[in-house]
Structure 1
Amino acid sequence: MTKKYILGIDGGSQSSKVVIFDTKGRVVCEASQALEPLHTPEPGVVEHPHDDLYDSIVAAASRVMEAFQGDPADIIGVGLCTIRCCRALTRADGTLVEPVQSWMDQRLAKPYEKTNDDVVYVTTTSGYLMGRLTGQLTDTVANYIGPWPMDVEAWDWFSDKETFDSYNVNLDMLYQLQMPGDIGGYVNAQFAAITGIPQGLPVVHTANDKAAEALGAGLRDETTGLVSLGTYITGMIVGKEYVAEPNTYFSNFASEPHRYIYECGGIRRGMWTVSWLRNLLGKEVIEAAAAAGVSGDEYLNSLASTVAAGSDGLMCVLDWLAPPTQPHKKGMFLGFDERHSYAHMYRAILEGIAFTMKQNMVDMEEERRASIGTLVVSGGGSYSDLCMQIFADVFGIPAVRNEVRNAAGLGAAICVAVACSVYPTFDDASSHMVHREDCFAPNPQNVDLYAQLRAVHAEIAEQNDAILQRTHRILLDHKGTFVDA
């Protein structure tokens, strides 16, 4: 039989990635395109400039098709996965009226307010991009997280008129809903012409990016957990029932109809903080990395690997982006002395991320009465052996990484494999397409040390909260207005 391929699109918050997989889930070729910096024209407004989400997919898709050595006719479908909690305002033809509102935009914290008469539809990034790729105005149910009239338990719009109307949108302003694994449309002539992807290929709906990542990481029951190391870091387990008002997590749509992702508290600007430190160090790291023939991240990882567990007492609290309800929050390093270098700072950031996510996952496990025995780590940080070992030691269980580290694209490909009948079920597709690569066993000595340090780390924010609030009030009084960028 002729070998078949699947194209997975992962529209992320920092870049758009397009990957061609074979039907066994192995990467054949891939390309990515960095997104432009977010546009912040005024306080609270955070937008993806121009038509960046679409243009970046076009750029990455064009390059991946140029690199593909197979026959494009053997590609059986396209899976579309995009970032969540964004809002796209479109015309009748599905093109943008205004730039897409980022998940960090304060307008997303409340129902839609119409300020532009050209707006015909209000949709998500997945709906917008499905419309651009196919011309069909359909969207996946499973990306309606946030200010939408969506009944998460019913997987449909709220049937109660009063509840629905409270979101300030009419039904005719919303795209047609479909399920993950449904074909939302077919590649149109325009997208085919500018990318080389064959016209007429089915484009399959997935879910929000975190749910697609969980599917691509191989989460099938509550014995396996996932920590997703992205701009927003979160922890996940999967289940089958919707829980309306849990205390330590929320129920998110999965990339499989009528299943759920339970998602614990996360870290805003999580792995961004690693990039922040690298960029802050600037020329020194760039030149040293170039001399060693490695990337800046690889160079910092090698230095941080020589630092003892616990970073000689240096701790990091990851609050570089304050929640809207707690604008006084700030990121912190605590415990400097003359021994510390930027290698200690780098390791302290990784340890701070692991401490925070361990506590958040423990809280969720206790409420769910679940116990994970294996932790999958995905995202850019999973490429670091140091980061993987820190997670194994902090969590006290084996930490594994898969062959495909950026798993959202693979999750999109799994949805295509089911939609196009390559495999009969999501379980079958996952078992054939998700492959483990490395397993990091916890070091018992470090497990004990980290357990004690994590208890201290958990108290830092609480102990310093009053000081940060005082500082925030002083700056408010001094400047009149205070903008936390």
Structure 2
Amino acid sequence: MTSRFPEPLIIAIDQGTTSTRCVITDGAGAVVSSAQYEHQQILPRQGWVEHDAREIWANVRRTVTVAMVEQDITVEDVGALGLTNQRETAVVWDRATGEPIHNAIVWQDTRTADDGDARRWLARTGLMANSYPAGPKIAWILDHVDGARERAADGELLCGTMDTWLLWNLTGGARGNPVYATDVTNASRTLLMDLRTQTWDPELCEAVGVPISMLPEIRASIGEFGSVRHRGLLAGVPITGVLGDQQAALFGQACFAVGDAKNTYGTGLFLLLNTGETPHLSESGLLTTVAWQVAGQAPVYALEGSVAVGGSLIQWLRDQLGVLRTAADSETLAGQVEDSGGVYIVPAFSGLFAPRWRPDARGTITGLTRFADRRHLARAALEATALQTREVVRAMEEDSGVALERLRVDGGMVANELLMQIQADVLGTPVERPANVETTVLGAGYAAAVGAGWATLDDIAARVTVDRTWESAMGEERRRALIDGWNIAVAASFGQA
């Protein structure tokens, strides 16, 4: 059977924190079909966040099926598959049955908070030794599930971030001969990989408590990851690109030059700056990570600032407080007032991430008076998003020595045009939104295209176009007053854990 499409289609799977998507694109990067399903957020106790890895795998199959059936796409139409995933989320499963031995522990989870020197492995891994990386989460599961350590030592258990779990299942699982691998971007988020050699570090593995023998193979992000198992709709399709979600967004924004940066406004906020083939260690509270690696080439590195709470603050105002009826109300209500009336929201629900790294901080609302109403709370939420981003940008400028000339943005929140204006105002820097803001899933697709040999980086860069640019309209005096008030509010959030 021949394909009815002039060029092979690419399937991109985006396994995110709250949902899983399948987006099918043509040779020009245009979306042909898509599907998306949410999964349950499991909250066993305060600070703990878990996912059912089986539900996520089921949703991957479901989204692929729906997206293909919607447009009568067959396996003959598909040439390659790319995968991107929520990073740091860890799962441990039985090699023989494919059953997880515990719920996946999500990147937001704080149970593995570390009281030691957070910077002790920074030079080797680029990461802080705190609750964020995946390695300590794997160790926690081994320590808290009866018999798990013994079973791991006997070779009965496998582990990894969500890309490894999905690759293993996509390529055969317990009933086949699966690929047991991760890509270098996800491996760089575990606290177990040497940043410069891109290999598992035996000393780190022993210190964190993860047997090196149970870890997957580390591969380049863009290259061969095997083929989809020979049952189901995608039998035999090659998997040629795997990236952690924020690296996929950087790739999808075509930030291929040293100094290019993007910020993703999703559940959290993630700002990455391309630093080229040399890792730069931060002195300002940022992380160093692998941005991507093309097979046979040197890896590209990035500085990263991760903020735990972005769009989830809007969800909290909507779902927990009832301040908003819909997420879109945040723009409508905030636009009805000129400022927040002195109200600040510090969304330190699980501490503060970059650049402050304060696990003892907790969510705080300051500046409340009888004058304040839900319009001011909505405005304060948007300002909190922009002000947290500003802190990361300034830290990045200090580390790199380069002033950001523009900020490329993507993610669900960038549809909020008032937020984008506030962001430009707070930064004093232009903000650019691409024509297609779904850069994470597009990045996975682009990586697969490059991995399959159908596209070059120049081809990808030519596809990325700017939809709108926001320029700063705020005076320096007002900007400084807003920032000073924010710093006071953040200080009030400390010492509450």
Return the TM-score normalized by structure 2.
0.82
CA distance in 2, matches of 1:256, 1:429: 17
**Pairwise CA distance, 1:151:** 0.8
What SS does the corresponding residue of 1:186 show, helix, strand or coil? coil
Within the candidate set 80, 84, 87, 1:77 is matched to 80
Which amino acid in 2 is paired with 1:331? G
For residue 207 of structure 1, the aligned residue among 233, 243, 257 is 243
Q: CA deviation at 1:39?
A: 4.1
Question: 1:342: which partner in 2?
Answer: 374
Residues 267, 148 of structure 1: alpha-carbon distance in 2 compared, 3 angstrom cutoff: closer
In structure 1, what is the Cα distance between the partners aligned to 2:418 and 2:69?
A: 35
1:140 is aligned to 183
- The aligned residue for residue 2 of structure 1 is 6
Per-residue CA distance 1:109-159 (angstroms, 9 max, x = gap): 73726342554222221111101011221221220244443111111223x
Q: Give the secondary-structure state (helix, strand or coil) at the position aligned to 2:23.
A: strand
Cα-to-partner distance string for 1:7-41 (whole Å, 9 max, x where unaligned): 1111111111111122222222222111112242x
**C-alpha displacement at 1:318, in angstroms?**
2.2
1:256-405 counterparts in 2 under 5 A? 256-257=293-294, 258-264=299-305, 266-280=306-320, 282=322, 286=325, 296-308=326-338, 310-322=339-351, 326=358, 328-405=360-437
More helix by share: 1
Regions of 4+ moved over 6 Å: none
CA distance in 2, matches of 1:338, 1:398: 35
Aligned residue for 1:16, secondary structure, equals: strand
Q: Which residue does the alignment assign to 1:406?
A: 438
Q: Distance in 2 between matches of 1:359 and 1:149?
A: 28
CA distance, structure 2, for counterparts of residue 200 and residue 9 of structure 1: 16
Q: Quote the residue 2:479 is aligned against.
A: 450
Match status 1:89 vs 2:125 = no
Q: Of 37, 40, 44, which residue of structure 2 is paired with 1:33?
A: 37
Number of the residue aligned with 2:158: 121
Q: Separation in 1 of the partners of 2:213 and 2:264?
A: 36
The amino acid of 1:267's aligned partner reads V
Residue 428 of structure 1 is aligned with which of 449, 458, 471? 458
Deviation, structure 1 residue 61: 1.8
1:80 CA displacement: 0.7
- How much does 1:78 deviate? 0.8
Query: Does the Cα contact within 8 Å between 2:387 and 2:483 map onto a contact in 1?
Result: yes
In the alignment, which residue of structure 1 is the partner of 2:196? 153
Alpha-carbon distance between aligned partners in 2 of 1:303 and 1:163, rounded to the nearest angstrom: 49
Residue 189 to residue 99, structure 1, CA distance change in 2 (3 Å): farther
Give the aligned CA root-mean-square deviation in angstroms: 2.5
Q: 1:168 to 1:334 in 2, by over 3 A?
A: closer
What's 1:481 paired with?
none
Match of 2:126 in 1: none
Superposition deviation, residue 413 in structure 1: 0.7
Asked whether the equivalents of residues 259 and 275 of structure 2 are also in contact (C-alpha less than 8 Å), the reply is: no
Correspondence for 2:267? 231
1:18 corresponds to 2:55: no
**TM-aligned CA distance change 1:447 to 1:188, over 3 Å:** farther
Q: Using the aligned pairs only, state the percent identity.
A: 22
AA partner of residue 26 (structure 2): D
Equivalent of residue 449 in structure 2, options 417, 429, 450 = 417
Provide the rounded CA distance (Å) in 2 between the counterparts of 1:51 and 1:420: 29
Letter in 2 for 1:12: G
**Structure 2, unaligned runs of 5 or more:** 113-133, 172-177
Q: Which amino acid aligns with 1:455?
A: D
Task: Quote the residue 1:59 is aligned against.
Answer: 62
Distance 2:361 2:403 in 1: 31
Cα deviation digits, residues 321-378 of structure 1 (max 9, x gap): 2259855422222223343221221111111111121122112212210121111121
In 2, Cα distance between the equivalents of 1:340 and 1:45? 32
Q: Superposition pairs for residues 466-477 of structure 1, below 5 Å?
A: 469=495, 472=496
Structure 1 residues 216 and 146: alpha-carbon distance in aligned structure 2, compared to 1, 3 A threshold: closer
Are residues 1:189 and 2:230 paired? yes
Deviation at 1:247, TM superposition (A): 3.2
Q: Distance in 2 between matches of 1:459 and 1:43?
A: 26
CA distance 1:199–1:243, shift in 2 (3 Å): same
TM-score under structure 1 length normalisation: 0.84
**Cα separation, 1, equivalents of 2:46 and 2:376:** 34
Query: Which letter maps to 1:214?
Result: L
Deviation at 1:437, TM superposition (A): 1.6
SS of aligned partner of 1:183? coil
